[in-house]
Chain A
Amino acid sequence: MNPMGMTMTEKILARHAGLERVVPGQLIKCRVDLVLANDITGPPAIVEFEKIGRPVFDRHKIALVPDHFTPNKDIKSAEQAKSLREFAKQHDITHYWEIGRMGIEHVLLPEEGLIAPGELIIGADSHTCTYGALGAFASGVGHTDAGAAMATGDTWFKVPTAIKVELTGKPSRWVTGKDVILTLIGMIGVEGARYQALEFTGPGVASLTMTDRFTIANMAVEAGAKNGIFPVDGATEAYLADKVKRRYAAVAADPDAEYAQTVTIDLGGLTPTVAMPHLPENVKPASELNHIAINQAVIGSCTNGRLDDLAQAASVLAGRKIHPDVRAIVIPGTQQIYAEAMARGYIATFIRAGAVVSTPTCGPCLGGYMGILAAGERAISTTNRNFRGRMGHVDSEVYLSSPAVAAASAVTGHISDPREVMK
């Protein structure tokens, strides 16, 4: 009997476990290529690491990013950032960035060339799954897992079953990766892919930019998935060309790989989409939410803080003004993106429109600082979670959307389809 083929996820896990093949349900121990932690999860990971009493497994394979509460929002946050910084110094960690060089971790690490196809990355941050856009296996873990892996270079996984997401057609103007992933979560629900891999495939992948793919993989966890992963194609290689110099071995799913389920999405049939409070699965077309007035618009985060995202927002805001009742906050994902957005005139566009532009930080995305909502306030945000109280008061509301929808809504003062504003 011929054994069944393997999915991309199974192939990467098997390779890192030193096994010929793996099957769903199998518990395996894997070597990791990179371990990530931030200023919230890093300090307790360090405490766990120190309990083990071994040196770091590889000082070049640990990434520490102070991005959540930095520039330090208060004294306790300053202490946490300090503990991360001192650990990085003490162990001579290569990949540590100070504010002013730092960016939001999931935007920064790919930009720095730390992620390559076929690699295995764990991070003490649930959106570590973002890196699947580059054909890597990447999954979020807790700080104890991260601390243990910093000492051993290993972690354990249960091999997941996979859902095949078959993308067909081409998206129309103003439809982006955010609309694709919100539509998918609307279809399968916030636990639709729980304990599973989401493998994106099909002819539609070619029409998605790398920015679209990062946004889609980023929110795989919002469907409960362990990881989301894209095939490696010309666009991936073009993205990697000036970033990754080391050798890597991309994998492709076998034609007879087994999937628990197949979901098909026609990209041509999508419209700008919004997720209503308090779950990412509560999706509706933006055009049907015209009656929802907003107080704040946030454009940024590890989901939508990349250059294409800012370009999209700038094209909507060029020559227009933010509505008098709206506070708009734009946060470039990294310093490099910030500088490039400046060179291209996007930042001037945002400021002329009446928006706040911030240094890279997670800030308002997790209700940290830089844009907290009061009771009864409502935000449209390009971030990834709209849980109760996520961006501030427990009686505030978050609507999730693409940068184009958020920018259009900032102009009109209510949730708007960009096509309505760009007439």
Chain B
Amino acid sequence: MILEGNVWRYGDNVDTDVIIPARYLNTADPQALAAHCMEDLDPTFAGKVRPGDIIVAGRNFGCGSSREHAPLAIKASGVTCVIADGFARIFYRNGINIGLPLVELGAAVSEIKNGDRIRIDLGGGTIENLASGKKFAIQPLPGFIQDIAKAGGLINYVKGEKA
């Protein structure tokens, strides 16, 4: 799968409280959540994000609460992939479970700036920064996680298993 889009660049420790504040958790409707996505960190995001955009962030992205509303809000806002130096573990499993591609890139994220256009080849395992021409390799996912991703998320994967 090839994903190409413009980058929204954020820093370290972007927590689930800023991705989707608890005051909006009285619904789990993805579109309603997307309307407030990133609101407490970047009030311009929800209004300006375009389908195909990509979030690139620093260390420990998605730390804090287990709310799956956070990756759901990001996905529903049109973002096709989140790239980070590293992810908090519950956010990471939630991303896998709902079929939002997450790429752990390590310190190389510093080579990607706000507004850069990047191309991600998930199958081929590369990211290219079209702004700078730099290329980065992506670590492949473990087989079992790939199976969940291929099924389109955990629920479809479980449905495919024998009860």
Contact = CB atoms under 8 A, between A and B. Distances in A.
A148 B26 contact: no
A73 B25 CA distance: 12
A51 B159 contact: yes
Given A124-B66, A367-B21, A388-B41, A80 B144 contact: no
23 contacts: A51-B155, A54-B163, A68-B25, A73-B26, A124-B68, A126-B65, A126-B90, A128-B66, A141-B94, A142-B67, A142-B68, A142-B98, A144-B68, A145-B94, A145-B154, A148-B155, A152-B161, A191-B13, A224-B89, A226-B89, A385-B64, A387-B64, A389-B40
A194 B88 contact: yes
B28 A44 contact: yes
A315 to B, nearest CB: 32
3 smallest A-B Cβ distances: which pairs? A76-B26, A142-B68, A142-B94
Interface of A: 27, 40-41, 43-44, 47-48, 51-54, 68-69, 73-74, 76-77, 80, 123-126, 128, 140-145, 147-148, 151-152, 156, 190-191, 194-195, 221, 224, 226, 279, 366-368, 385, 387-390, 394
A29 to B, nearest CB: 9
Interface string B9-40: 00001010110011101111000000000001
Given A76-B26, A142-B97, A388 B18 contact: yes
Contact of B67 (A40, A191, A195): A40
B21 A389 contact: yes
B17 A389 contact: yes
Given A43-B28, A190-B63, A194-B89, 20 more contacts: A27-B144, A41-B67, A44-B68, A53-B159, A74-B26, A76-B26, A125-B65, A128-B66, A141-B93, A142-B71, A142-B90, A143-B28, A148-B154, A148-B158, A190-B60, A191-B60, A194-B60, A195-B89, A366-B25, A385-B15
Contacts, number: 132
Given A144-B155, A388-B17, A224 B60 contact: yes
B25 A388 contact: no
Contacts of A73: 26
Contacts of A367: 17, 21-23
A47 B155 CA distance: 11
Size bracket of the B interface: 35 or more
Contacts of A52: 155, 158-159
Contacts of A190: 13, 60, 63
Which of A51, A68, A224, A388: most chain B Cβ within 10 A? A224
B94 A144 contact: yes
Nearest to B142: A27
Nearest to B98: A144
Nearest to A81: B26
A4 B119 CA distance: 44
A77 B40 CA distance: 22
A68 B26 CA distance: 10
Interface in B61-94: 63-69, 71, 86, 88-90, 93-94
